[in-house]
Amino acid sequence: MDQSATQAVTETNDRAVAEAAPTALRSDHRAPDRLVLQRGIFTGPSAKINDELYAVVTRGRAQRGRLTLRLDKGATVHTNTYFGRFAAAYWQRWTTVTEVQVTLVLDVAAAARLRLVASDIAGHRRIVDSIEVSASGPVSLGAKLDQYVDGGALWVEADAVGGALGITELTWSAAAPERMRPVAIAICTFNRAADCAETVAALASDPAVLAAIDAVYVVDQGTDLVEERPRYREVRPVLGEKLRYIRQPNLGGAGGFTRGLYEVSAVNEHADVILMDDDILCEPETVLRLNAFANLTVEPTLVGAQMLFLLNPDYLNVGAEEVHLDRLMHGQKVAKALRNTSMLKKNQERRVDAGYNAWWTCLIPAEVVAKIGLPLPIFFQWDDVEYGVRAREHGFVTVTLPNAAVWHADFYWKDYDDWARYFSTRNSLIVGALHTDLDGRKIGRQLFRNIAEQLVAMQYGLVHTTLQGIEDFLRGPTILRDGGIEALAQARGQRADYPETIKHPAATPPVPAAQIAVQRASGEPSRALLVLIKRAIGQWTGRTRPGLVGITREDAYWWHVSLFDHVVVTDASQSGVRIRQRDKARARALLIRTLRVLRRLRRELPALQEQYRAAAPELTSRENWERLYGIRR
């Protein structure tokens, strides 16, 4: 960003800071007698979403609206679906709720049968309440939450008997707390203006959700401005006084989301902030469910939404995640949690407890910010992990709530060989150093193994990016002084020196296309280390298969790619190809650099851990973030 642009952002930023927070955010609100925990939704926010994620018509025909359903005579429907279920196990374990009531407003032509059904940890079905109805109007079913600690859910079944049946409202409710906590949405965006505008519009589209939230902060760090998009301007009057738009320099996801936490926690010490990605497909009902759950937890709790895949919208990413700090591995599936599972075919019966929740959509109470400070200025990657780990160390748990989700870009459509690997490597070491006693020898061996696999796969740019991350970790906490702006430029810029990092059109690669012969992989080796040594020797001595070889994304394992010396590999995004070619001189230089860097890491790790831990309070302070934001008080 040039000097004039930076000055413009700073001036705009100062005006935004001076603007008072929305009035509704400044105080707690009186609660109704009963709090709506979730609503019956019958169709999704987009035509690409399967309606059977919401309700399934098992017999006959039905006409769906967003909040209404009309069954023809003889039809049957159930809500034993992803968004239709009530996660009884989670509500019993983490909240003060002891009973739940389901209220339906019916339009009955002749008669209807309604059942409130429960499952247990094994998915066994049992009816807990039922009623036969012959007149239109509201009816209620109820259940105690006293048999669901380890697992189980509730749902509704309805039969249209003798005539049509209309469901014009379906709500799950419980006794409300005395006061309702204010809640704000904070959306971080960088040059995804159209996506962000649609996310804001989704929040504005639902009157109940709009009434429940007190503020929406859009933190724009880009040059393609959200405020200039027609869609944003169209919905701005709907949000009215609740909408706040802030511009600031690009400080990554960490800087954007932290701005929301910074602004809201300064206004009300009992407010909640729902962090939300800009490029999701937003299910507004998820906001209502997270907010209701957070208002009824026994203690202030981080409440996360689950992630469904945007390109494969029936599929759940993972039921709950944890981190293995000693191995620098995040995104690890909690035991017994579902992963990459079609939610049309399977439900999550078992309660699984999360170690943290990613920030595609996650609610954070102001009490957490008051006690543990703001996130680390590590730009992006591992910022959400670190904050969840730090919160747990201070007694705040994270609950990843089933049946509350947004759709986010599928991770496996993103290529691993990317500049983001710099931040992932560097930040994993920083978070590990802060929150566990890393074993330098063990970590060194693990990193060497990873780099060795990348070298034999001819991913020299990826090795360079990984080493950049380790080398900058070795520089100590001063690398975080600017919030990641310089690191971003270097990580992206230097990759251009490595030809295999460049993506080419599949139809016109800079190699003779007619000579590309696709070679499929055989099974994964049973003795991977021995195969790695063998492949390394082959690459080093040139005992590789000659000719130009094409390799599909699904076969692009190191143990297959390393058989060849010139390969055309499909990019994970399926939008092009990358070309890798054996380069012994480059591999040798990177290997020597790797050995030197890992030797330093083993030697200096104990002192670095002390340095990062000593610097953490200042790095996560409001004063440090004010400096990064350019806020003048």
Q: Which residues are catalytic?
A: 384
Question: Longest Cα pair distance anywhere in the chain, in angstroms?
Answer: 84
d(C-alpha 49, C-alpha 552), whole Å: 29
Reduced to 3 states (helix: H, G, I; strand: E, B; else coil), residue 182 is coil
Look at the block and give the residue holding tokens 């049968």.
Answer: 113
* H-only helix segments in 498-567: 528-541, 558-561
Q: Which residue, 376, 326, 323, is CA-closest to 621?
A: 376
- Listing DSSP states for 217-241 in one string gives EEEE-SSS-GGGSHHHHHHHHHHGG
Q: Are 400 and 361 in contact (CB under 8 A)?
A: no
List, in order, residues 6 or more apart from 481 with CB less than 8 Å away.
Answer: none
Look at the block and give the residue holding tokens 């804001």.
Answer: 200
d(C-alpha 138, C-alpha 133), whole Å: 10
Structure tokens at 618: 């200042």
List, in order, residues 6 or more apart from 460 with CB less than 8 Å away.
Answer: 454, 498, 500, 583, 586, 587, 590
List, in order, residues 6 or more apart from 64 with CB less than 8 Å away.
Answer: 42, 43, 51, 55
d(C-alpha 34, C-alpha 418), whole Å: 49
Vertex 213: Cα angle to 208 and 218 (nearest 5): 125
Q: Are 261 and 219 in contact (CB under 8 A)?
A: no
Residues pairing with 407 in the sheet: 281, 308
Look at the block and give the residue holding tokens 């239109």.
Answer: 136
d(C-alpha 99, C-alpha 78), whole Å: 21
- Listing DSSP states for 170-181 in one string gives EEEEEEPPSEEP
547 conformational bin, left if phi > 0, alpha if psi -120 to 50, beta if neither: left
- Listing DSSP states for 329-371 in one string gives EEEEEPTT--EEEETTT----B----SB--TTEEEEEHHHHHH
Q: Is 257 exposed, middle or buried (0-12, 13-18, 19+ CB in 10 A)?
A: buried
Q: Are 304 and 362 in contact (CB under 8 A)?
A: yes
Q: Which residue, 398, 204, 365, is CA-closest to 291?
A: 365
Q: Are 218 and 224 in contact (CB under 8 A)?
A: no
110: phi then psi, degrees, rounded to nearest 5: -135, -70
Look at the block and give the residue holding tokens 């960490």.
Answer: 254
